[in-house]
Structure 1
Amino acid sequence: MFSVVIRINKPFFVSLCETGLSSYQKRLEIDSGKSENSAMQNASVRGEAAQIVMPRINGADLEDHAYRAEIESLVREGIGGFILFGGDVKRTPQRIRDLQSLATTPLLISSDVERGLGQQLAGGTRFPGQRAIASACRRQSRSDEALLAAMLDAVRTESRAAGIHIVFSPVVDVNNNPHNPIICTRAFGEDPETVEWFGARYIRRLQKPLRNGTFELLACAKHFPGHGDTDQDSHSVLPVIRAEKARLNRVELPPFREAVKDGVGTVMVAHLMVPALEPSKPTTFSKKIITALLREGMGFEGLIVSDALDMGALANDYSQEEIAVRALEAGIDILLHPVDARRTIKAVLSAVEEGRLTAQRVRESAGRVLAAKTRLGLFDEKARTPRIAWARHRRIAREIAAKAPEVIAAGKTMLPLKPSGGAACFVLDDDAQGMGKALLERLGRKFRKLSSVVLAPGTVLSQAEIAKGIGSSGSVIVAIFSKISASKGRSGISADLEEAGRSVLKAAQAAGSRTVVISFDSPYILDHFREADVRIAAYDRMDEIQQAAGDMLTRRKA
Structure 2
Amino acid sequence: MKKNIRWSSLLLSVMLLAVLLLAGCKNSDQAGRDEQDRSGEEKQLTLDEQVDALVAAMSTTEKVGQLLMFGVQGAEITDDAKYVLHQFHYGGVILFDRNLQSADQTKKLVDDLQKNADEKLPLFVAIDEEGGKVVRGSSFITPPPSQEDIGRKGEPALARAQAVEIAAKLKDIGVNVNFAPVADVGSGNGRSYSDDPQETGKFVKAALEGYKEGNVICALKHFPGIGRGKVDSHTEISDIEASEKELRSVDLLPFRDVIDSIDKGRNFDYMVMVGHLKYPAFDANHPASMSPKIITGLLREELGYQGLVITDDLEMGAIANHQDFRQAGAAAIMAGADIVLVCHEYEHAEQAYMGIYDAVKAGTISEARLDESVRRVIKAKLLHGLQPQK
- Category of TM-score, reference length = shorter chain: 0.7 to 0.9
Q: CA deviation at 1:128?
A: 0.8
Distance 1:308 1:366 in 2: 20
AA in 2 matched with 1:111: I
Q: Decide whether the 8 Å contact of 1:221 with 1:259 is kept in 2.
A: no
More helix, by proportion: 2
Offset, 1:90: 2.0
SS at match of 2:95: strand
The aligned residue for residue 331 of structure 2 is 326
1:354 to 347, 351, 362: 362
Q: Once the 2 structures are TM-superposed, how far is the Cα of residue 62 of structure 1 from its aligned partner? A: 2.8
- Report if aligned partners of 2:133, 2:190 keep a CA contact under 8 Å in 1: no
Alignment-derived partner of residue 44 in structure 1: 59
Aligned to 1:128: 145
Amino acid in structure 2 at the alignment position of 1:245: E
Deviations 1:40-88 (A, max 9, x none): 5453211100111001124xx133xxx6221122222321010111203
Q: Give the distance between the partners of 1:240 and 1:147, measured in 2 at CA.
A: 34
For the Cα contact (< 8 Å) 1:118–1:124, is it kept in 2?
A: no
Any conservation in 1 of the 2:66–2:90 contact (CA below 8 Å)? yes
Choose 145-154 or 277-286, whichever is displaced more.
145-154
- Superimposed CA distance per residue, residues 318-337 of structure 1 (whole angstroms, 9 cap, x where no aligned partner): 01111111111100110001
Give yes or no for contact 1:20–1:379 (8 Å, CA) kept in 2.
no
Q: Secondary structure at the match of 1:186?
A: coil
Match of 1:62 in 2: 75
* Structure 1 gaps, min length 5: 1-16, 26-35, 140-144, 209-214, 383-558
The corresponding residue for 1:6 is none
Counterpart Cα distance in 1 of 2:249 and 2:381: 34
Match of 1:364 in 2: 372
Please name the residue that 2:180 is paired with.
Answer: 169
SS in 2 for 1:280: strand
CA distance in 2, matches of 1:200, 1:219: 11
* Structure 2 CA distance for partners of 1:219 and 1:342, relative to 1, 3 Å: same
Aligned counterparts, 1:211-250, within 5 A: 216-250=215-249
State the secondary structure of the residue aligned to 1:43. Answer: coil
What's the CA shift for 1:301? 1.3
Aligned residues, how many?
330
In structure 2, stretches of 5+ residues that fail to align are 1-44
The residue that corresponds to 1:115 in the other structure is 131
Pair 1:197–1:41, CA change in 2 (3 A)? closer
Closer, same or farther: CA 301–374 of 1 in aligned 2, 3 Å: same
Q: Secondary structure at the match of 2:278?
A: coil
RMSD: 2.4
Q: 1:159 to 1:41 in 2, by over 3 A?
A: closer
Q: 1:229 to 1:80 in 2, by over 3 A?
A: same
CA-to-aligned-CA distance 1:151-185 (integer Å, 9 cap, x gap): 2211111111111111111101011xxxx6xx431
Identical pairs, percent: 30
Matches within 5 A, 1:383-394: none
In structure 2, how many angstroms separate the alpha carbons of the residues matched to 1:118 and 1:324?
A: 26
Would the aligned equivalents of 1:117 and 1:155 in 2 still touch at CA under 8 Å?
no
TM-score, normalising length from structure 2?
0.79
Please tell me the residue identity of whatever aligns with 1:49. V
Structure 1 contact 116–124 (Cα < 8 Å) conserved = no
Distance 1:296 1:239 in 2: 26
Query: Does the Cα contact within 8 Å between 1:20 and 1:374 map onto a contact in 2?
Result: no
Q: Is contact 2:157–2:206 with CA below 8 Å preserved after alignment?
A: no
Indicate conservation of the 8 Å contact 2:133/2:146, yes or no.
no
Structure 2 CA distance, aligned partners of 1:148 and 1:353? 45
